[in-house]
Amino acid sequence: MMGFNSGLDIGKSYYVATANPAHDHPALQGDVDTDLVVVGGGCTGLSAALHAAGRGLKVVLLEGGKIGWGASGRNGGQIIPGLRKSAKGLVKLYGPERARALFALALEARGLVLDLIERHAIDCDLRLTGHLAGAVNGSDLRDLEEEAECLAAVMNFHDVEMLSAAQAREMVNTPYHGAMYEKLGGHMHPLNYTLGLARATAAAGVTIHENSVALRLEREPSIRVSTAKGSVRARHVVLAGDALLQGLEPRVNSRIMPVGNFIIATEPLDDTSDVIPSNAAVSDTRFVVNYYRLSADGRLLFGGGER
């Protein structure tokens, strides 16, 4: 499509090609008043809008392009317990008490996602088959062993298992030196999850506008978000546009930089049991991480190659 996220080229993606039917939402026309305006129609914005509506707020959500066509509909679809920063890294940065709180927050987020999928019957190919972190060398394997020890000792998290090279090879047909297997991991179709979240959000009474780029945010005398053809005046605003806020909030502009990452989808494979017998989500310990999994229709979705 042309417009806000046309340059992202997601229209040609595997996820869009296998997306569930979704409602189109009209662009904002004219000026409206509401309790909360949310900018961004990905997982963050939709979840914020859904929960606010559940608390009785009147909510309007503005999406610059199509629902889920940013990061929410184009990611690896892997469910990995914890945060991008390792447990060891969290302890080093913040100390054990703060690290535990952050790790608990991440586990709560996982539980919330699973609860939303169940509560709203979201069809998104959810597979709770675990996540396997493969060690590409012996040093990385020792790092994973130390991570598992930190998870147990500091986070009181024991749902991890260290695997030998042979055990890892039984789960994924890649010659790792060993692996850390996280039982609470898994994978799903991220765009279908996001579209399901949008359906639940609309059903909760949230007004969603697609193709409505937020061009200006004013805070005085009251909050007002303007688009090309209208505006929303509200008591509260949530900015959930991630790297696509396009200068709407100057305080975050200097913290955004473009990083390319790529996923390729194979044709359906004749026998997926030869590739990832466990059907787990897999990533490795490289600095530029390889990550891969099987799709519901038997393709290998392989990601990596940052620029």
At 88, the amino acid letter reads K
Please, is 262 exposed, middle or buried when counting C-beta atoms within 10 Å of its C-beta (0-12, 13-18, 19+)? exposed
Residues 227 and 205 in one domain: yes
Q: Which of 253, 269, 293 is the last residue before a domain boundary?
A: 253
**Closest CA relative to residue 103, chosen from 153, 145, 169, 31:** 153
3-state secondary structure of 155: coil
DSSP one-letter string for 187-249: E--HHHHHHHHHHHHHHTT-EEESS----EEE-SSSEEEE-SSEEEEEEEEEE--GGG-TTSS
**Is residue 23 assigned to a domain?**
yes
**Is residue 263 assigned to a domain?**
yes
**Closest CA relative to residue 110, chosen from 147, 159, 172, 71:** 159
d(CA 171, CA 160): 15
Residues 182 and 205 in one domain: no
Residue 258: cis peptide before it, omega within 30 degrees of 0? no
**Is residue 283 assigned to a domain?**
yes
Q: Which of 217, 234, 253 is the last residue before a domain boundary?
A: 253
Distances (CA, A) of 253 to 236, 243, 248: 21, 9, 8
**Is residue 198 assigned to a domain?**
yes
Residues 68 and 31 in one domain: yes
Residues 54 and 175 in one domain: no
Q: Which residues pair with 39 in a beta bridge?
A: 62, 239
**Is residue 1 assigned to a domain?**
no
CB 182 within 8 A of CB 159: yes
- Classify the phi-psi angles of 298: left when phi > 0, otherwise alpha if psi is within -120 to 50, otherwise beta: left
**Full pLDDT tens readout for the chain, 307 residues:** 345 666 667 888 999 999 999 999 999 999 999 999 999 999 999 999 999 999 999 999 999 999 999 999 999 999 999 999 999 999 999 999 999 999 999 999 999 999 999 999 999 999 999 999 999 999 999 999 999 999 999 999 999 999 999 999 999 999 999 999 999 999 999 999 999 999 999 999 999 999 999 999 999 999 999 999 999 999 999 999 988 888 899 888 888 888 888 999 999 999 999 999 999 999 999 999 999 999 999 999 999 998 8
Structural domain harbouring 178: 78-188+259-304
Residues 203 and 249 in one domain: yes
Provide the pLDDT for residue 82.
94
Residues 157 and 127 in one domain: yes
**Closest CA relative to residue 243, chosen from 8, 52, 3:** 8
Domain harbouring 225, CATH code: 3.50.50.60
CB 141 within 8 A of CB 129: no
SS3 of the chain: helix, strand, coil, percent, to 5: 35, 25, 45
Residues 227 and 275 in one domain: no
Residues 177 and 295 in one domain: yes
Residues 208 and 86 in one domain: no
Number of domains in the chain: 2
Provide the pLDDT for residue 258.
80
**Is residue 222 assigned to a domain?**
yes
Domain harbouring 184, CATH code: 3.30.9.10
**Is residue 168 assigned to a domain?**
yes
d(CA 299, CA 293): 8
Residues 143 and 179 in one domain: yes
Residues 181 and 241 in one domain: no
Q: Which two tokens stand for residue 10?
A: 């997601």
Provide the pLDDT for residue 248.
93
3-state secondary structure of 90: helix
- At residue 85's C-alpha, the angle toward residues 84 and 90, to 5°, is 150
Residues 213 and 284 in one domain: no
Q: Which of 253, 278, 295 is the last residue before a domain boundary?
A: 253
**Is residue 119 assigned to a domain?**
yes
Provide the pLDDT for residue 133.
98
Provide the pLDDT for residue 3.
57
